[in-house]
Amino acid sequence: MIAPVTSTSNDAYIALLGRSTWALINTFHAVLHEKGLRPKRVIIVTEEPYAREASIAADAIGIISEEYGFIPVIGMEILPETDFVEAGQTIRSLATDLIQQGLHVAIDITSGRKVTVAGALIAVSVAGLDIRHIYYLAMKNTDDVAKPYMMIPHQIQQIRDIMEDAEVGG
Per-residue pLDDT of the chain (170 residues; tens, 9 = 90+): 444 433 458 999 999 999 999 999 999 999 999 999 999 999 999 999 999 999 999 999 999 999 999 999 999 999 999 898 999 999 999 999 999 999 999 999 999 999 999 999 999 999 999 999 999 999 987 777 778 888 887 888 999 999 999 876 55
Domain range list for the chain:
11-165
pLDDT at 169: 52
pLDDT at 133: 97
DSSP annotation string for 81-120: TT-HHHHHHHHHHHHHHHHHTTPEEEEE-SS--HHHHHHH
Helical axes 51-67 vs 21-30, angle rounded to 10°? 20
pLDDT at 148: 80
User: Which of 121, 98, 79 minimizes the C-alpha distance to 5?
Assistant: 98
pLDDT at 6: 38
pLDDT at 146: 78
- The pTM of this model reads 0.91
Tell me the C-alpha distance between 95 and 104, whole Å: 9
Domain 11-165 listed as CATH 3.30.750.24:
no
Q: Are 131 and 22 in contact (CB under 8 A)?
A: no
Q: Are 55 and 19 in contact (CB under 8 A)?
A: no
Tell me the C-alpha distance between 28 and 13, whole Å: 9
